[in-house]
Amino acid sequence: MIALVDDRTLAGMIDHTLLKPEATPAQIEQLCAEAVEHGFATVCVNGAWAQLAAGLVAGTGVGVAAVAGFPLGAGSSAAKACEAADEVRAGATEIDMVINMGALKAGDDALVEVDIEEVVRSAGRDAIVKVILEAALLTDDEKVRACRLAVAAGAAFVKTSTGFGPAGATVEDVTLMRKTVGHAVGVKAAGGIRTREAAEAMVAAGATRLGTSSSVLIVQGG
C-alpha cells in the first residue's frame, strides 16, 4: 500500500496517548521519549502527569495535552475549569475536555456552551482546548449541535471520542464533524486507531489530529 501521508507529516499530527488509570511514571517517561524520538505533536496524559511530561518534553517541540472532565464529562463546569487551569500551570499546552452529554441530550445547549467556555477561559492563551463529543453515544443531530456549540465557545478542536466509550473514531463521524465545523477548527479522531491504514483513512476524512496509543506502530507503517 502506498502511504497517503509521509511519516514525518503523520507523526506531527499524532497525540501519543497514555490515559490508562494504572499508568506509572516510568510509562509516562517512555511515552515522552517515544514522542520526542518520532516527532509526535503531543503526549496526551492524565492531569497528574502533566508536570512530569512537561519537564520531559521541554524544548523538544512536543506539546503536552492533558484531559479535563475525563472520561465522563459529567462533572461541574467549575470543576472542569479548575482542572484545566491546574494542568496549564503544570505545563500543559493543550486541554482535551469532555462535554456534558446529558445536558446535550436534554437540549440544554446553553449549559453545554458555557461548560466549554469556562474551560476555554481557564486554559487562557497558553493552551488550546479540544472538545470531546463521545460520538458513539450521540445521534448525528447531537454531534452537529455539539460541534457548533464548541465552535461558538471558542474551542480549537472537536474530538470524536475518549477511547473509553462504547466505540472509537469512525470515518463517518470525522466526515460529519469536518463538514459541520468547516476549516477554521481542527478535528481530532481518537479511539481505536491502531494501524497506518486506519490513521490515513481518518486524515482523508478530514482529521487534522489523531489520538492513539499505537503511534509508534502507525508511523513505522504498521
State the first-to-last Cα distance of the chain, in angstroms, to the nearest integer.
11
Reduced to 3 states, what is the DSSP secondary structure of residue 74? coil
- Annotated catalytic residue within 15, 80, 159, 173: 159
In single-letter form, the type of residue at position 180 comes to T
Reduced to 3 states, what is the DSSP secondary structure of residue 200? helix
Cα–Cα nearest to 117, from 151, 143, 142, 73: 151
Please indicate whether residue 109 is annotated as part of the active site: no
Please indicate whether residue 179 is annotated as part of the active site: no
89 is written with which cell numbers?
A: 500551570
Q: Which residues are within 8 A (CB) of 143 and not within 5 positions of it... i.e. 6 or more apart?
A: 133, 135, 173, 176, 177, 180
The answer to whether the CB of 188 falls within 8 A of the CB of 130 is yes
Distance of alpha carbon 218 from alpha carbon 210, whole angstroms: 11
- Annotated catalytic residue within 96, 115, 143, 173: 96
Please indicate whether residue 143 is annotated as part of the active site: no
The string of DSSP codes covering 104-154 is: HHTT-HHHHHHHHHHHHHHHGGG-EEEEE--GGGS-HHHHHHHHHHHHHTT
Q: Which residues are within 8 A (CB) of 20 and not within 5 positions of it... i.e. 6 or more apart?
A: none
State the catalytic residues: 96, 159, 188
